[in-house]
Amino acid sequence: MNMFECNQNSYSGAVFHAFPALEEESTHAGYAALISGYGLPVPAPDYLCAIGTKHKRVEKGRWRIFTPRHKPEDSLYGHLKFALKYEGIDLAVLKALFVSIEPEAIIDIIRSQPTGAYSRRIWFLYEWLCIEELDIEDAKQGNFVALINDKLQYSGAARESKRHRVRNNLPGTREFCPLIRRTKTLDQFIGMNLSQVAIDRIGKTHADLLSRAAAFLLLKDSKATYTIEGESPPHNRIERWGKIIGEAGRRKLTFEELDSLQRIVIVDNRFVMPGLRIEGGFVGDHDRVTGMPMPVHISARPEDLESLLSGLIETSLLLGKSDYDAVLMAALIAFGFVFIHPFEDGNGRIHRYLFHHVLAEKGFVPKGLVFPVSSVILDRIGNYRQTLEHYSKPRLDLIEWRPTEKNNVEVLNETIDLYRYFDATKQAEFFFECVEETVNKTLPEEVDYLKKYDLLNDFIKNYIDMPDKLVDLLIRFLNQNGGKLSKRARDKEFNQFTEVEVEVIERQYDNIFHADE
């Protein structure tokens, strides 16, 4: 009896608490078997595989239950092959597995299957993740095989590894490589070709109207990104950050660029050290009595920041040159940055700036327009927090930490791979929802509003002699009160209006703004 047979359904401890219950007659397969069998300290994948007793594949919660004929050989190679074939690549699980076994275990697999497509993939992944060349001669036979199966995950540009006769199509680098599973939701979003939809809509919009819409949406997004952080800065700071967002994508992503962005976000740095953190960091609260940290997210260790950010930047450059989808790339880079949390403060705003940066750099956003990503996120703030927690919550139990004298956190164990290798599918789906809403709702609604605003503006000016500022104020008051002029406005700013004039303006407002209802 080997370890898999001993340990199929008898896991315990923090590592396995995320595994949902499984029917007694079912057995773990693939990554579930490897995690439980080797006691790997990794977050459980979003979906787990098992072998059932029925001859039909089914899904029950997070379990994907395969038929008995899919049952792999109950061995290291058997479960690795099953995982790569049916689940895709999970770099976090593979790295934890490889460092927990002897290299000879992988060498035995390769020598027993020297030309096998899966054995060569395993060989490449071991050497790539562990930065260790095994005592095996280069592969001489076998067709080149792609590392990532495009039917399971979204791949990057392929780079050939002649030693393994493998095409490395991972979307990132060894220092930073999140992956995204191919889902029906994401395929549907990609199929919408939202970039072209936005460009087509822009082409039908008058240049002056587009310019005004862009200016409003830019300011709206800048204000929203501060609101998300619970801040209400002066208007000049909102305008200054809006200008920075408007320049997104014009400069390459570098350490210097990120440092410059943080210095712009944090104007007063008397209490915030600029640059990369030199201490631990967390997101959460402090106990009201003791001041003890109560983290909901623990940031990467300060000694890991340079490696992680250099990997993130290199991955950004790599994907920027490929045909990798712009929205998926934006999700990888922006969420990866905020999970690392490299600065003492300003991480959230830079994280949302990176959405703009990637979309602009990849040419997804029409020229002259900024998608109001932060304002759409603000409207979905509950889902946004759940998306962040989906990453952070499973990792808290895997991070050993202690409070410092400053009521900060000090991480005591090795955690860098938690930030390097993660499944960004949930984050990608959330961000695509935001982009779709922007293209199909927010942008058209703003252009439509401006058209109606201009019609009412022209009517009022022809009906009554009034300065532009007062006309603008009148229209804003009408918008805020459902098309009716409030008693306060009639008694103050517009106390010179007659009853007839008010009725005429309100009727015209209704004709213009509610004509489609």
DSSP assignment of 139-183: P-SS--EESS-TTTB-----EEETTTTEEE--SSBTTB--B-B--
Question: Do residues 4 and 75 make contact, with C-beta atoms less than 8 angstroms apart?
Answer: yes
CA distances from 418 to 78, 104, 339, 393 (A): 26, 26, 9, 12
The Cα–Cα gap between 337 and 350 comes to: 8
Give the closest residue to 164 by CA, choosing from 203, 106, 234. 106
User: Which secondary-structure segment (H or E) carries 282?
Assistant: strand 282-286
Check: CB of residue 368 under 8 Å from CB of residue 210: yes
Which string of b and e fits 456-465 if b means at least 16 CB within 10 Å?
bbebbeeeee
Start-end of H helices in 303-368: 305-320, 326-340, 347-361
Q: How far apart are CA 471 and CA 176, in angstroms?
A: 54
* pLDDT score for 200: 84
**pLDDT number for residue 517:** 60
Contact 432, 327 (CB under 8 A): yes
Length of the chain measured in residues: 517
Quote the tokens at residue 85.
Answer: 């074939």
Name the one residue in this structure whose structure tokens are 């007062």: 470
Q: Any idea where the domains of the chain sit in the sequence?
A: 1-87, 208-267+282-440, 464-513
430-445: per-residue pLDDT in tens? 999 999 999 898 888 8
Sheet-wide strand order for 145-146: 145-146, 166-168, 159-161
Enter the tokens of residue 23: 């029917």
Q: What's the distance, CA 221 to chain centroid?
A: 18
Helix H or strand E encompassing 297? strand 293-298
Q: Which of 261, 287, 289 is nearest to 275 (CA)?
A: 261
Q: What is the pTM of this model?
A: 0.89
Q: Are strands 48-51 and 63-66 parallel, antiparallel or unpaired?
A: parallel
CA–CA dist 69, 269 (Å, integer): 63
Q: What CATH number was assigned to the domain covering residues 208-267+282-440?
A: 1.10.3290.10
Q: Angle of helix 326-340 relative to helix 347-361, nearest 10 degrees?
A: 160
Are 301 and 280 in contact by the 8 Å Cβ rule? The answer is yes
Strand, helix or coil at 75?
coil
- Please tell me the distance from the alpha carbon of residue 180 to that of residue 158, in angstroms, as a whole number: 16
Tokens 């949930």, residue located? 426
- Residue carrying structure tokens 């999700």: 331
Query: Quick one: DSSP state of residue 303?
Result: G
Rounded Cα–Cα distance for residues 180 and 422 (Å): 9
In Å, what is the CA distance from 299 to each residue of 308, 345, 350? 12, 12, 15
Whether the Cβ atoms of residue 106 and residue 126 lie closer than 8 Å to each other: yes
Q: What percentage of the chain's residues is helix, strand, coil (to nearest 5)?
A: 55, 10, 40
Which residues, in sequence order, are CB contacts of 79 under 8 Å at separation 6+? 4, 29, 30, 31, 33, 34, 37, 72
Residues of the chain with pLDDT under 50: 1-17
C-alpha–C-alpha distance, residues 495 and 169, integer Å: 69
Report the alpha-carbon distance of residue 187 to residue 195 in Å, rounded.
15
The per-residue pLDDT for 5 is 38
DSSP string, 357-425: HHHHHTT-SPTT----HHHHHHHTHHHHHHHHHHHHHHHHTT--EEE-TTS-EEE-S--HHHHHS-B-H
Give the relative orientation of helices 443-463 and 207-228 as an angle to the nearest 10 degrees.
120
In angstroms, the CA 114 to CA 434 distance is: 47
Type of residue at 75: S
